[in-house]
């Protein structure tokens, strides 16, 4: 796990793997050397002999890709975020420093990295006495520079930037001794290069000694897939998905195939979506059987517009219905949020907005994920803040339950003690005192348990306690309403002093005249029973530590959403299924990060290798197939893919090209794209159909300032004019209608 707090000295250095020291040892000449790892690079094969050789295959490409990304940042150094350093203090180790940045550097917006630099743990930065506009500014005339690594950046639950950071430097920083004439210190600048947290997480997964202690079954199949590939070719054809599910799940108590089919039939999916989900579920349960020959990986092939996100959300909803712990990952925060948002919407639709979401958790860095709207209900950072007020020792759930129980049990003695302590002559009545005390306790208790019931999994609370809490607050609501009536004031004392059983005959012998007072007595006694039971049996944390609450939330969630990289922080034994969205956009070695979880029994990869692959900076790595995904490799070896074959997005005259070129004519056009309304025409003329081609004869391509990206300003002007005409055409149609 990446350390966010805690050790900041020698222990902090030991927390990081050898990869950090290796990169700190690179000189800028090494970083800019495209041939640094060329001799060590080999084309990554499609199959492997053993786990050790499999893991070692990715080490050199990983280092080369990191070098290429750092080189790219150096070439574009003038555009990289930077900050002035206000002070530095050396730690015991001469390469570890406490660092503070100018306050202006902390003012950039959380969701948008601006020119000002806000450091993050895992950042590599370059330290220089000038604000670099070009790489030559750093190295000109032997100017000193250092590369440093940010190891500490405050607690991840803090909402404000830390006062200081901890860095490991590639050498000694002579900041205190280096001065201009006149005795003024040189200004020191830090320029961002890249964040290597994901590289570190992959590096740890490539450690063979660590890998053999992790999820053996899934990694073994990744390495030895050809040994099971022939099994998949023997699957029976012509059998319905529900028959497959029934046949493969006989004797498995955790799944009711007819119940699954019944739930699935209400989701308005097409046949290919139903088949993909049912085949995944049947494979999942078959692979969990001892000595099963079924693959532990399922592949869903989702071309553009085929309802991939809807299919995933329904699959996840079913997993939650059958209480099957599931981790859902994607390459980016945006992709994770899209899946989580769709899943959350489906839960609310199916539960009519009354769902408890304590078992559902969205994890991620708060600066990068930028969670808004309904997603805050399941976002870890917000959940920790909500539960903190419920779990603190002096004002949390237990304190409030005890306070109310004490009031109901010992209200009269509390009142007498209050009178003894009072120095004023105008003392309140017993009725006024108890009503004021109840009004002070009840709303906060209700608010606290509203958060608990929503943000804590029902399984942790237990069914009995959950029902007791619901019953308690129904009674307290009635008690609160009746307790506001002034005419019962004289009767309250006897009501609070009554401590026997709930016998109506005993209550009727008291000097109580109103039905309201009798009802209040009964409610009070019943509430006391429930309060006593909850205080003895409810097992919830009592802590003011955000990190303890965070671990509690992660440990007890059964549906977790996060990026592939941040899944390295998870340690949850409930997670048996891994679902990876946009799996074809991930380098295979990245997929190792979530696959390390030891409880995982099955993985479902959803993607489309015909679309954009993973981004690879290094041409050497690209030639070595470093960017190839696990989805693509398994597919190339013959692994069965469940194709989503109905596309709902493109006009048929547009979809015909990708259908023929990439999908072997297997895609069908949904009824909605064949309807007349789907063909929107805002501009007059035969050329403005579903698609148009424009020949820009006078265009000229130029390179940008860095000599990389190409631009054609004539094409830009033509596009702007088309958009203006299109806008006018749309406005005229809207006005006409």
Q: What is the pLDDT of residues 331-384, one digit of tens each?
A: 999 999 999 999 999 999 988 767 789 999 999 988 888 899 999 999 999 999
Neighbours of 451 (CB within 10 A): 18
For residue 258, what pLDDT band results from cuts at 50, 70 and 90? confident
Q: Which of 293, 378, 289 is nearest to 328 (CA)?
A: 378
Q: Is the Cβ–Cβ distance between 112 and 170 less than 8 Å?
A: no
Angle (CA) 529-532-538 rounded to 5° is 125
Residue 7 binned pLDDT confidence (cut-offs 50, 70, 90): very low
Residue 95: CB atoms within 10 Å:
19
DSSP for 528-581 reads HHHHHHHHHH--------HHHHHHHHHHH-SEEEEETGGGGG---TT--EEEET
Per-residue model confidence as pLDDT tens digits over 660-714: 999 999 999 999 988 877 776 666 666 677 888 888 887 788 876 656 677 888 8
Nearest to 575, CA basis, from 328, 294, 208:
328
Which of 457-461, 585-589, 642-646, 722-726 comes out lowest in average pLDDT? Answer: 722-726
Q: What is the mean pLDDT of residues 710-724?
A: 88
Q: What DSSP string runs through 12-58?
A: HHHHS-HHHHHHHT--HHHHT-TTTTGGG--PPPSS-SSHHHHHHHT
The SS3 assignment for 191 reads strand
Q: How confident is the model at residue 593 (pLDDT cuts 50, 70, 90)?
A: very high
Residue 549 and residue 555: Cα distance in Å, rounded? 10
Average of per-residue pLDDT values in the chain: 84
Instruction: Specify the pLDDT at position 610.
Output: 93
What pLDDT is stored for residue 106 in this prediction?
47
Q: What is the DSSP string of 61-86?
A: HHHHHHHHHHHHHHHTGGGS-EEEEE
Distances (CA, A) of 309 to 240, 320, 611: 23, 16, 16
């Amino acid at each position: 796990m990446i350390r966010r707090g805690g050790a900041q000295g020698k222990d902090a250095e030991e927390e990081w793997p050898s990869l950090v020291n290796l990169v700190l040892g690179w000189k800028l000449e090494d970083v800019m050397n495209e041939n640094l790892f060329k001799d060590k690079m080999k084309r990554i094969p499609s199959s492997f002999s053993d786990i050790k050789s499999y893991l070692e295959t990715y080490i050199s490409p990983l280092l080369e890709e990191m070098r290429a990304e750092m080189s790219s940042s150096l070439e574009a150094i003038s555009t990289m975020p930077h900050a002035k350093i206000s002070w530095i203090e050396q730690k015991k180790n001469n390469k570890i420093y406490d660092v503070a940045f100018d306050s202006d550097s902390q003012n950039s917006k959380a969701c948008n990295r601006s020119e000002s630099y806000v450091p993050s743990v895992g950042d590599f930065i370059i330290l220089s006495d000038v604000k670099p506009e070009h790489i030559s500014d750093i190295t000109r005339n032997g100017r000193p520079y250092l590369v440093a690594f940010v190891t500490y950046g405050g607690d991840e639950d803090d909402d404000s930037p830390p006062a200081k950071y901890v860095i490991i430097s590639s050498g000694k920083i002579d900041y205190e001794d280096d001065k201009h004439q006149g005795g003024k210190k040189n200004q020191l600048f830090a320029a961002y290069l890249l964040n290597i947290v994901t590289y570190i997480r992959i590096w740890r997964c490539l450690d063979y000694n660590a890998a053999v202690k992790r999820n053996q079954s899934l990694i073994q199949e990744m390495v030895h897939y050809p040994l099971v590939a022939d099994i998949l070719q023997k699957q029976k054809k012509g059998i319905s998905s529900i028959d497959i599910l029934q046949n493969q799940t006989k004797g498995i108590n955790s799944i009711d195939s007819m119940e699954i089919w019944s739930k699935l039939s209400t989701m308005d999916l097409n046949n290919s979506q139903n088949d993909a989900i049912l085949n995944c579920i049947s494979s999942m349960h078959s692979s969990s059987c001892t000595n099963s020959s079924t693959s532990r990986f399922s592949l869903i092939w989702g071309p553009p517009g085929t309802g991939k996100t809807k299919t995933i959300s329904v699959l996840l909803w079913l997993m939650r219905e059958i209480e099957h712990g599931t981790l859902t990952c994607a390459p980016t925060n945006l992709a994770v949020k899209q899946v989580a948002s769709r899943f959350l919407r489906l839960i609310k639709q199916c539960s009519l907005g009354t769902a408890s979401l304590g078992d559902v958790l969205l994890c991620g860095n708060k600066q990068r994920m930028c969670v808004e709207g309904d997603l805050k209900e399941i976002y870890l950072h917000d959940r920790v803040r909500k539960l903190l007020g419920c779990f603190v020792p002096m004002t949390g759930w237990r304190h409030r339950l005890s306070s109310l129980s004490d009031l109901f049990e010992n209200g009269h003695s509390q009142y007498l003690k209050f009178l003894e302590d009072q120095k004023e002559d105008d003392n309140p009545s017993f009725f006024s005192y108890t009503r004021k005390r109840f009004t002070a306790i009840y709303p906060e208790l209700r608010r606290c348990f509203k958060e608990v019931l929503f943000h804590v999994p029902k399984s942790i609370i237990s069914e009995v306690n959950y029902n007791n809490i619901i019953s308690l607050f129904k009674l307290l609501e009635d008690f609160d309403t009746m307790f506001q009536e002034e005419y019962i004031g004289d009767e309250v004392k006897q009501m609070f002093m009554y401590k026997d059983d709930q016998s109506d005959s005993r209550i009727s012998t008291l000097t109580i005249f109103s039905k309201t007072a009798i009802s209040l007595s009964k409610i009070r006694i019943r509430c006391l029973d429930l309060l006593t039971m909850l205080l003895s049996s409810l097992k919830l944390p009592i802590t003011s530590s955000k990190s303890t609450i965070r671990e509690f939330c992660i440990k007890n969630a059964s549906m977790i959403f996060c990026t592939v990289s941040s899944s390295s922080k998870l340690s949850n034994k409930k997670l048996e299924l891994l679902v990876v969205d946009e799996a074809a956009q991930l380098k295979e070695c990245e997929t190792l990060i979530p696959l390390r979880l030891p409880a995982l029994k099955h993985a479902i990869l959803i993607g489309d290798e015909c679309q954009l692959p993973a981004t690879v900076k290094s041409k050497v790595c690209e030639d070595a197939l470093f960017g190839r995904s696990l989805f693509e490799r398994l597919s190339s070896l013959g692994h069965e893919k469940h194709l989503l074959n109905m596309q709902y997005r493109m006009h048929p005259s547009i979809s015909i090209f990708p259908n023929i070129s990439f999908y072997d004519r297997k895609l069908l056009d949904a009824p909605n794209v064949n309807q007349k309304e789907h063909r929107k025409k805002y501009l007059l003329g035969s050329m403005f159909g579903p698609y148009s081609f424009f020949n820009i004869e006078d265009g000229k391509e130029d390179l940008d300032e860095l000599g990389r990206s190409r631009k054609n300003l004539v094409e830009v002007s033509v596009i702007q004019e088309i958009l203006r005409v299109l806008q006018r055409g749309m406005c005229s149609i809207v006005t006409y209608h």
